Chain A
Amino acid sequence: MSEQTINLTLEVWRQNGPGDGGRFETYEAKDISVDASFLEMLDLVNERLIEEDKTPVTFESDCREGICGTCSLMINGQAHGPNKGQATCQLHMRTFSDGDHITVEPWRAASFPVIKDLAVSRAAFDKIQQAGGYITVSTGSAPDANLIPVPKEAADMAMDAAACIGCGACVAACPNSAAQLFTSAKIQQFNLLPQGQAERWKRTEAMVDTMEEYFGTCTNHGECYEACPKEISLDFIAFLNRDYVKAKIKNRKLAGQKS
């Protein structure tokens, strides 16, 4: 079976480091198999750059199957490219046509500084997680399964929230650079479950307050949902908004117990 190939022209963002201004550079990507993933296509481009003694393009990837959240590219002005519910590593070149021009850029946001070329630091997400993206459990022997009954609907919804891979596409796609979709998923995966109740209000307040130290304000455009490789629902953002103000009220009532 003969393999179908296409030729493309890439406009790739090159930036030597965080302090550098950066610029677009043009590369020809010839004889690319339509079965290649976008990242495999970039691998080929890089191999050719190395053969020509040039510096390869830095980009991030790890699992290459849409579960780690490392890959992160703005492709033709869309986070993770044009297909819905796919990470960059799951985007295949058959999506493009012979002769296409493709623009490739890093995520852009003040709190996602470029490390080099297409790789950005998403450490600000870690800050949000550290503020409350966990539950407290007693260590020791593993408890019996199903010890705590969980309604099926709550379990399903928490699972949907837990699908977030922390890639940052929501922030990249947001015209406000807001991190509401990520934060709401990370909060609700616990807030919906009995195990998450003990720290529910503390968690919500701390994670939202931390989010606001690094990111912009949601205006409900809905771009994040369209960009999200895991199709995290906008409903979680509504839940976040509701839980946050509830938390302010509850935490006031608990104030006597806070130091």
Chain B
Amino acid sequence: MASTMPNLRDPQPIRTRKKDLPFPLNIWQSAVGRKWVMAITGIGLIGFVLAHMAGNFKLYDSPAAVHEYAETLRVLGKPILPKYWALWILRFGLIAMFGLHIAAAYSTKELSRKASDGAGFISGEKSYPGGREYAAANYASRTMRWTGPIIMLYLVFHLADLTWGYLPHTDYVYGDPFGNVTRSLGNLPVAILYVIANVALAVHIFHGAWSMFQSLGVNNPKYNQARRGIAAGLAGVILVGNLSFPILTQAGVIDADDNPCREFVDSDANTECFEDILAKEGK
């Protein structure tokens, strides 16, 4: 019996600390360090989300502009780098950031679960048998570990849909992003899915961006009032921008019929069609 009794004077650690690895690997050995990793990769991911959204605004320009933009990404770094290289470097960076972000989130959560032994630990939170009242934690902060995986699942769907072209509803044509987007988001269930996922993303960023300031120690009593505002503003901009695509496609503002090359379902023919249009515009 004695072995299961907690020692009240000399409590058993929930985690033993290993010998320090050389800097900067020792950052990852601590939970505070992992929150730094989460925050820095979070900044990178928010940067990606903003850039991706800005790119999508080309949808409001013209189908040819979308084609041109996609081509620009492929030849990024020309003439120093061969085609696709820069894009793949960026992609590997993104994959690494996602990996680190999720690994840090998961492992620190597990530490909190261990630290809450003796109470319940339900859906990522310590729970009291007699119930508890929250005074500060909000919906966003309490659902980070649900909005995160939702974003991840959506990401896989989104890539299968518009990058790999695996999904039948899109009738994917390589090199015609405007056509692919309008064909995909023209399906009501798909549009709804995009809306839900992007609401989850905005909710995640609403807490994430505020949390990031704290995790990195970006703290100055003079400007602290602004931090919630910045987080809310960032989440708001991303919400409105990203929701506009599925909603306005459904509303017919982004219209598949505006696509001058929509007849060309063959990739090369389609690309040729767009190149002709761009050439006529003198680009």
Q: Does B26 count as interface, using CB distance less than 8 angstroms?
A: yes
- Stretch of B47-55, B134-142, B169-177, B237-245 contacting A (4+ beta carbons < 8 Å): B134-142
User: What are 19 of the A-B contact pairs (CB < 8 Å)?
Assistant: A13-B130, A104-B130, A109-B115, A109-B116, A110-B14, A110-B115, A121-B11, A123-B8, A124-B11, A212-B17, A212-B32, A216-B111, A219-B211, A220-B210, A220-B214, A221-B136, A234-B214, A244-B30, A249-B23
Q: Select A78's contact among B8, B133, B218, beta carbons within 8 Å.
A: B133
CA of A11 to CA of B115, assembled, Å: 26
Q: Which of B131-157 contact A (CB under 8 A)?
A: 131-137, 141-142, 144
* Nearest CB in chain B: distance from A241 CB, A: 4
Q: Which residues of B are found within 8 Å of A178, using beta-carbon distances? A: 112, 115
CA of A124 to CA of B15, assembled, Å: 13
Looking across the interface, which residue of chain A has its beta carbon closest to that of B113?
A216
Contact present for B214 and A238 (CB under 8 Å): yes
CA of A244 to CA of B26, assembled, Å: 11
Contact present for A175 and B142 (CB under 8 Å): yes
Given contacts A74-B132, A121-B11, A241-B36, A220 and B119 within 8 Å (CB-CB): no
* Nearest CB in chain B: distance from A239 CB, A: 6
Q: Select A77's contact among B109, B115, B117, B131, beta carbons within 8 Å.
A: B131
Contact present for A241 and B216 (CB under 8 Å): yes
Q: Which residues of A are found within 8 Å of B119, using beta-carbon distances? A: 108-109, 177
Q: Which residues of A are found within 8 Å of B113, using beta-carbon distances? A: 216
The 8 A CB mask of A235-253 against B (1 = contact, 0 = none) is 1011111111100110010
Q: How many residues of B contact A (CB 8 A)?
A: 63
Q: Which residues of B are found within 8 Å of A216, using beta-carbon distances? A: 111-116, 126
CA of A209 to CA of B30, assembled, Å: 7
Contact present for B219 and A242 (CB under 8 Å): yes
Q: Which residues of B are found within 8 Å of A110, using beta-carbon distances? A: 14, 114-118
Q: Which residues of B are found within 8 Å of A77, using beta-carbon distances? A: 128, 130-133
- Stretch of A61-69, A137-145, A222-230 contacting B (4+ beta carbons < 8 Å): A222-230
Contact present for A213 and B137 (CB under 8 Å): no
CA of A53 to CA of B219, assembled, Å: 56
Given contacts A226-B136, A240-B32, A241-B216, A175 and B118 within 8 Å (CB-CB): no
Q: Does B125 count as interface, using CB distance less than 8 angstroms?
A: yes
Q: B15, B215, B217 — which one has the most chain A CB atoms within 10 A of its CB?
A: B217
Given contacts A13-B130, A238-B217, A223 and B136 within 8 Å (CB-CB): yes
Contact present for B144 and A219 (CB under 8 Å): yes
Given contacts A177-B126, A217-B112, A238-B214, A223 and B117 within 8 Å (CB-CB): no
Q: Does A27 count as interface, using CB distance less than 8 angstroms?
A: no
Q: Does A218 count as interface, using CB distance less than 8 angstroms?
A: yes
* Nearest CB in chain A: distance from B131 CB, A: 5
Q: Does B27 count as interface, using CB distance less than 8 angstroms?
A: yes
* Nearest CB in chain A: distance from B32 CB, A: 5
Q: Which residues of B are found within 8 Å of A244, using beta-carbon distances? A: 30, 32-33
Q: Does B280 count as interface, using CB distance less than 8 angstroms?
A: no
Contact present for A235 and B36 (CB under 8 Å): no
Q: Does B87 count as interface, using CB distance less than 8 angstroms?
A: no
Q: Which of B94-111 contact A (CB under 8 A)?
A: 108-109, 111
Contact present for A227 and B135 (CB under 8 Å): yes
Contact present for A175 and B125 (CB under 8 Å): yes
Residues of B within 8 A of A (CB): 1, 4-6, 8-11, 13-17, 23-24, 26-27, 30-36, 108-109, 111-119, 124-126, 128-137, 141-142, 144, 207, 210-211, 213-219, 221, 224
Q: Which residues of A are found within 8 Å of B118, using beta-carbon distances? A: 108-110, 112-114
Contact present for A208 and B32 (CB under 8 Å): yes
How many A residues are at the interface, by size bracket? 35 or more
* Nearest CB in chain B: distance from A221 CB, A: 4
* Nearest CB in chain A: distance from B149 CB, A: 16
Contact present for A217 and B35 (CB under 8 Å): yes
* Nearest CB in chain B: distance from A181 CB, A: 12
Q: Which residues of B are found within 8 Å of A223, using beta-carbon distances? A: 134-137
Q: Which residues of A are found within 8 Å of B4, using beta-carbon distances? A: 19
Q: Select B23's contact among A18, A225, A248, beta carbons within 8 Å.
A: A248
8 nearest CB pairs, A to B: A242-B217, A216-B112, A238-B219, A216-B115, A77-B132, A226-B135, A176-B112, A110-B117
* Nearest CB in chain A: distance from B106 CB, A: 11
CA of A216 to CA of B111, assembled, Å: 5
* Nearest CB in chain A: distance from B139 CB, A: 11
Q: Which residues of B are found within 8 Å of A249, using beta-carbon distances? A: 23
CA of A240 to CA of B134, assembled, Å: 24
Q: Does A105 count as interface, using CB distance less than 8 angstroms?
A: yes
Question: A124-B11, A177-B116, A244-B32 given. 4 additional CB < 8 A pairs?
Answer: A220-B215, A221-B141, A222-B137, A237-B214
Q: Which residues of B are found within 8 Å of A93, using beta-carbon distances? A: none
Q: Which residues of B are found within 8 Å of A237, using beta-carbon distances? A: 214
* Nearest CB in chain A: distance from B214 CB, A: 5
Q: Does A59 count as interface, using CB distance less than 8 angstroms?
A: no
